[in-house]
């Protein structure tokens, strides 16, 4: 059967998106031209904050004193998990040296970027986990300088737990600056900071647009849209857990899509019945987002079998993908388009979001069809090198000269010619394009 929508979204993640490009371009241009003073003006306007921009050691220590010991232990636990997983990822990057032909050796080196800028959201929610995810991976990668910036609250500054997390995870500087002005300060090297080589971390539409505009002069992790999640569930799944997991991700934002894909009609109908009550049971600030996301963006899709379920999932390429179904190994081997995969009822997206070790900065808006999420690799440049003996480069030089002339690039050809004539003066070479 063709897949059946038991619940169809009335909006998409791009519906109603305002055009913020002009606003962001204006702010970036003002700050690039005006430097620190311009950034401070925008901080006063948007953050309504007039404290220190770069936190002092005493301010960091004071913030740490405000964090309860149990929360400190939880942050340390999450940091340790993320750090160890990042170290395992880094171990997969090996320098390579390979003799392509006798006498000509080529190689690969993985070199960390020098300066990383980590944006940590701090508006409605204090994104402690984003500090852990972005700063820890940059530290493990070997970046020489790491800045973490987060929006300060009027009169109080950055949430103490964010400050503490960024500090223990290895941030060299912590900056109280939000939005476009925070992104700009890291990019342009304001307030005595080195210019960032890469910008990472989630943010609102203004932060995302600033990163998009700046991409090219600085690297970015990805262009992020609203977070999204998909659950694949069969008749073995617990409908209460499925519904709870959908609601847990819908609370991210009013436009955060959540999708259920199943081959069991009874399960689908049960979940649809449960979700509204679970949303109503949330605190008001959370339920507002979840209610709108479920009403306007959520979908429940009924498929014929697990193959159609998997194909549907790959088409949606979700940021977060959960499987609550039989035969988990089949799903692991079959699925190919997702930011992060959560196999079985015993794990959940919330674990990955906060503490299990995998990174929560992930591709949204179907970008998982071509890229993965933030990792140590994002901070690394994979560069190549080569070295040759004269004899080893001889055949390469001949091929280079002839190919270059066929392409009409005489200067390239002559850079090969000159070496052949110098190293092998007594030999005749046919270096014409049609030879």
Sign of CA dihedral 399, 405, 409, 414: positive
Question: What's the pLDDT tens digit per position in 248-307?
Answer: 999 999 999 999 999 999 999 999 999 999 999 999 989 999 999 999 999 999 999 999
| Confidence at residue 125, expressed as pLDDT on a 0 to 100 scale | 65
| Confidence at residue 18, expressed as pLDDT on a 0 to 100 scale | 63
- Show the low-confidence residues of the chain (pLDDT under 50): none
The closest alpha carbon to 409, from 433, 390, 391, 376, belongs to: 433
HSE-CB for 101 with a 13 A CA cutoff: 10
CA-CA distance, 232 to 258, in Å (whole number)? 11
Beta strand 380-388 with 104-112 is antiparallel
- Matching fold, domains 21-221+377-381 and 226-372: yes
Domain ranges in the chain?
A: 21-221+377-381, 226-372, 389-435
The closest alpha carbon to 142, from 175, 109, 164, belongs to: 109
Q: Collapsing DSSP states into helix, strand and coil, what is residue 188?
A: helix
Strands (E), 141-197: 145-150, 173-176
Fold for domain 226-372?
Rossmann fold (3.40.50)
Q: Which sequence positions are flagged as catalytic?
A: 319-320
The closest alpha carbon to 227, from 260, 204, 211, 243, belongs to: 204
Cβ atoms < 10 Å from Cβ of 83:
18
- Burial pattern 235-274, b for ≥16 Cβ within 10 A else e, equals eebebebbbbbbbbbbbbbbbbbbbbbbbbeebbebbbeb
Query: Does residue 177 contact residue 53 with C-beta atoms inside 8 Å?
Result: yes
pTM: 0.93
In the CATH hierarchy, which top-level class contains the domain 21-221+377-381? alpha beta
| Confidence at residue 126, expressed as pLDDT on a 0 to 100 scale | 78
Question: Which are the contacts of 231, defined by CB distance < 8 A and separation ≥ 6?
Answer: 242, 245, 246, 258, 259, 260, 261, 321, 322, 323, 324
């Amino acid at each position: 059967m063709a897949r059946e929508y038991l619940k169809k979204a009335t909006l998409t993640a791009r519906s109603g998106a305002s055009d913020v490009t002009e606003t962001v371009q204006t702010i970036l241009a003002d700050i690039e031209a005006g430097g620190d003073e311009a950034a401070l003006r925008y901080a006063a306007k948007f953050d309504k904050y007039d404290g220190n921009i770069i936190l002092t050691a005493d301010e960091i220590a004071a913030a740490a004193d405000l964090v309860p010991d149990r929360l400190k232990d939880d942050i340390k636990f999450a940091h340790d998990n993320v750090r160890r997983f990042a170290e395992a990822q880094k171990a997969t990057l090996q320098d390579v040296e390979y003799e392509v032909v006798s006498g000509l050796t080529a190689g690969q080196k993985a070199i960390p970027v020098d300066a990383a800028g980590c944006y940590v959201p701090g508006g409605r929610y204090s994104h402690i986990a984003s500090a852990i995810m972005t700063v820890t991976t940059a530290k493990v990668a070997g970046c020489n300088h790491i800045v973490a910036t987060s929006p300060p609250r009027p009169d109080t500054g950055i949430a103490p737990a964010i400050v503490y997390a960024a500090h223990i995870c290895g941030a060299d500087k912590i900056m109280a600056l939000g939005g476009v002005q925070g992104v700009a300060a890291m990019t342009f090297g304001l307030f005595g900071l080195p210019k960032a080589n890469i910008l990472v971390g989630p943010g609102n539409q203004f932060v995302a647009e600033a990163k998009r505009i700046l991409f090219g002069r600085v690297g970015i992790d990805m262009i992020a849209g609203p977070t999204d999640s998909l659950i694949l569930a069969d008749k073995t799944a617990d409908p209460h857990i499925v519904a709870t997991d959908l609601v847990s991700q819908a609370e991210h934002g009013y436009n955060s899509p959540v999708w259920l894909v199943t081959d069991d009609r009874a399960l689908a109908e049960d979940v649809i019945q449960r979700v509204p009550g679970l949303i109503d049971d949330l605190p008001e600030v959370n339920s507002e987002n979840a209610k709108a996301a479920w009403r306007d963006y959520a979908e429940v899709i009924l498929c014929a079998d697990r193959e159609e379920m998997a194909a549907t999932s790959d088409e949606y390429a979700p940021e977060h993908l959960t499987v609550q179904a039989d035969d988990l190994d089949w799903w692991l081997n079959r699925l190919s388009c997702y930011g992060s995969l959560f196999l079985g009822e015993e794990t959940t997206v919330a674990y990955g979001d906060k503490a299990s070790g995998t990174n929560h900065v992930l591709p949204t808006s179907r970008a998982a069809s071509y890229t993965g999420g933030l990792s140590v690799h994002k901070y690394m440049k994979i560069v190549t090198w080569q070295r040759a003996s004269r004899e080893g480069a001889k055949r390469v030089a001949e091929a280079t000269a002839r190919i270059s002339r066929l392409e009409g690039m005489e200067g390239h050809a002559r850079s090969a010619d000159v070496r052949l004539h110098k190293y092998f003066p007594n030999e005749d070479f046919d270096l014409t394009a049609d030879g």
